[in-house]
Structure 1
């Protein structure tokens, strides 16, 4: 009987020791984790001192944040942090830093931030749309479907090239009809570029005199302006303000009108939809939606239909048309470059037959000029924001999961360690000693990695065919009463040229 108390005593002592060891191991593990985190956070990028509540929001010029980023880049180096209220942000600068993030650690930077200011349009915290969707299987499925469908309707095939060539012909006719009078190319070029994406996505194009389309162009420009400035940034980081009745509608009225326009196009499309005849991307999406619950869970629902087509409509129009407007402006400002381009067009293509993509390989100087336009114009200086998908490191800097990351593409396209004359318009950046075209590694005008521009191939085709066709058919000159246009441009999410007019003289 004396054995039982002894066993109880031993067991009690054993479990007591186990508890002590357990507590010790727990404390040791927590301490070790704390030390690791402290070590990691000691390598968090530097940045300006933040103010209580508002953080660094007063440090940033939201009318042109690129100016602020440039100053902070000089002060803090290739990686620095900012704080917008409670939201942390890291800005990456320079070719090596940005390439490591987007290419070598592509998945780490593949996510997107949630933007509360778009919630009233249908963009939520899940994977809605393409451009701003969160990283995951739904986004992957939608992107794969979109790329495949665009290819089926011609992207990378001659049918789409013929479509662009045909639209370039319509554009030339509209310009010729002006009979040399001073015109602003903005609306005509926007119309032409938009028609290419419209025929692919919606199966229809707009006539150049269409009043509805003119309103749409103005509407989208106002849409971009609404997203510029301090207030939209504040609403994103303090989204409770958006719950005040009427705030989204008052602050972003053009956003809603734009999406209403997209809804009208889709509803019109659905009335004429025939499952046996897939006319365009919208029809293909509707066909996927009919496959049932699994397809719906993979993102094929009505809300994503409107958001995906809106993303393609917006992203496939404004960036390319803005780049073309810069291209024609630079031809006016750099007549020696203009002369060389037209001489190469005359030599390779002549003045009668339309240009083709096959001509590009025989036109190194023109190809170099188009790439230099994209580099020097720098139309999307900050690109679109990313979010770290997991804890990661770049060039020795620690960036925790869930951090908003700005890849400063302007600092890449004008990196002084890469480009010979980064702050000058210099097509020779893309030519070797023999005058042959060479694509520079630091040319990231379309970004890179998992979130590289989905329409890059289409944009390259449009830039080459529209640019060469118009310079083949016309000589553009400045009206006599117009002063020399400025190169500094204006910023409203995209960097676009200030308004200017030209006279188009048939060749």
Structure 2
């Protein structure tokens, strides 16, 4: 009898919870979505090993705007370029809040440019943009520092003497040094213990400032406290190191898998730059094929498939639904980068996606690896500069070889989650 009583009570509680969910869901006019389980929400319907694919699959049933429960937390998911543009651009002010990211909330606590909201975020964003724009540490511009650092990378590459090696460590070091040159006004040798320790902390999303810092010490405004500025610096390190280095790692892998593409890039480099002059950003306008290849690499590998979470800053009418203030939003950037309305055969690597019939580079609105709207990546222009300069500098000097045949090269990420982490591989660099 006791077991029957417990089961009856449990069933009654579940029915009450489900009924309450149905009533609340209907009352505030949320988008449709799968029925959640008490406490678990829709977690059992998601594949933790490939969350973006699970989210995209649900959109096929419930539409480009749907509601999902991650445990007890309710989120609205946006899929496809049209829905993303309508939210992030057309309703940019309402969708510019930053949603919570549970694994890093304990570290950032709403501080730093990535996690901040409201006036704090606006001031930090302005401060960061002005700092990057007016970059005047030393006598070198950002482009010159990237060119200089790329030459240090070439020195390390030459020391491999054509033998197979994993490029991950060197790519992480070189891209991190660009941020070091901005934050500290200097670069570090790749073997420097301090530099390696800093890289380790960056990779773990953890940063501690051990000595006092008197910028704005007397300013009560929380966006310019030591912690806030230190965490903003950490944001720059994390975004400027991991995303760029991972994209470059994918780029080298894809060139080995598609040697015919690599050969065309070699030809364009030889025709426009030659083999002696250092590549410059100004060359990009005269290199439509190489530019298209880099865009296609970013599109296909989709480093940040679910983007960073947003939240609405006020009660918002959107596509006939009412989203209450602070509703968390998942912007599935990968659904735009693989949107078949904008990219034919979106799962296939094809630089022609970004070339017109005359072979000229063409922009595509659905290309949003840096997100879009008010919360778009503040370092987008610098990241694009890095990708072009590193990619052309490496292929100007080397041909890429793998121990595998091109058809056997697997580009499947070793992890599909918050980031699409590139697979582990080795390559040989053959001097040209």
Q: Over residues 459-497 of structure 1, what are the superposed CA-to-partner deviations in whole Å (9 max), with x where a residue is unaligned?
A: 010000000000001111013699933121122521022
> 254, 266, 274: which one pairs with 1:342?
266
User: Is the 2:313–2:325 Cα contact (8 Å) retained in structure 1?
Assistant: yes
Tell me the equivalent position of 1:86. Answer: 72
Point out the more displaced range, 373-382 or 300-309: 300-309
Matching residue within 451, 467, 482 for 2:391 = 467
Partner of 2:114: 131
For residue 332 of structure 1, what is the aligned residue in structure 2?
A: 256
Corresponding residue for residue 25 of structure 1: none
Closer/same/farther in 2, CA of residues 154 and 492 from structure 1, 3 Å limit: farther
Pair 1:504 & 2:429 matched: yes
Are 1:191 and 2:191 counterparts?
no
Instruction: Give secondary structure in 2 for the equivalent of 1:310.
Output: helix
What residue in structure 1 maps to residue 418 of structure 2? 493
Q: Give the Cα–Cα distance (whole angstroms) in 1 for the partners of residues 48 and 421 of structure 2.
A: 16
Q: What runs of 5+ residues in structure 1 fail to find an aligned partner?
A: 1-36, 224-254, 271-285
Change (3 A) 1:119 1:74: closer
Separation (CA, whole Å) in 1 of partners of 2:153 and 2:412:
27
Deviations 1:327-375 (A, max 9, x none): 1111011111111111000000000000001100100000010011110
Distance 2:297 2:102 in 1: 34
User: Which residue of the other structure, out of 312, 322, 326, is the alignment partner of 2:246?
Assistant: 322
Distance apart, 1:166 and its partner CA: 0.2
Structure 2 partner of 1:153: 135
- Indicate conservation of the 8 Å contact 2:68/2:76, yes or no: yes
1:287-302 map, 5 Å: 287=215, 289-290=216-217, 292-293=218-219, 296-297=220-221, 299-302=223-226
Which structure 2 residues correspond to residues 215-254 of structure 1 after superposition, within 5 A?
Answer: 216-217=198-199, 220-221=202-203, 223=204
TM-superposed deviation, 1:217 = 4.4
SS of alignment partner, residue 83 of structure 1: strand
1:183-227 superposed Cα distances (whole Å, 9 cap, x missing partner) = 111111111110001110122322123355445545554x3xxxx
CA contact (8 A) 2:177 2:188 kept: yes
| 2: CA distance, partners of 1:41 / 1:99 | 27
Deviations 1:66-87 (A, max 9, x none): 1211220111111111112332
Query: Normalized against structure 2, the TM-score is what?
Result: 0.89
Q: Does 1:305 align with 2:229?
A: yes
Partner of 1:226: none
Q: Distance in 1 between matches of 2:72 and 2:162?
A: 56
Asked if residue 165 in structure 1 is aligned to residue 147 in structure 2, the reply is yes
* Alignment correspondent of 1:22: none
Tell me if the contact between 1:326 and 1:496 (Cα under 8 Å) persists in the aligned partners.
Answer: no
Secondary structure of the structure 1 residue equivalent to 2:113 = coil
User: Normalising by structure 1, what TM-score?
Assistant: 0.76
Equivalent in the alignment of 2:302: 378
- Aligned length, in residue pairs: 408
What's the counterpart of residue 389 of structure 1? 313
The answer to whether the 8 A contact 2:94-2:313 is kept is yes
Greater share of helix residues, 1 or 2? 1
State the partner residue of 2:10. Answer: none
Q: Could you tell me how far 1:64 is from its partner in structure 2?
A: 2.1
State which drifts further: 205-214 or 363-372. Answer: 205-214
* Cα 1:119–1:362 shift into 2, 3 Å: closer
Which residue pairs with 1:454 in the alignment? Answer: 378
Q: Cα gap change, 1:116/1:408 in structure 2, threshold over 3 Å: closer, same or farther?
A: closer
Uncovered stretches (5+) of structure 2, i.e. residues with no partner: 1-22
Match of 1:419 in 2: 343
Distance 1:119 1:427, change over 3 A: closer
Which of the two has higher C-alpha Rg? 1
Residues 327 and 336 of structure 1: CA distance in aligned 2, closer, same or farther (over 3 Å) = same
Query: What CA distance in whole angstroms lies between the structure 2 residues aligned with 1:39 and 1:111?
Result: 22
Q: Does 1:200 align with 2:182?
A: yes
Aligned-pair RMSD on alpha carbons?
2.4
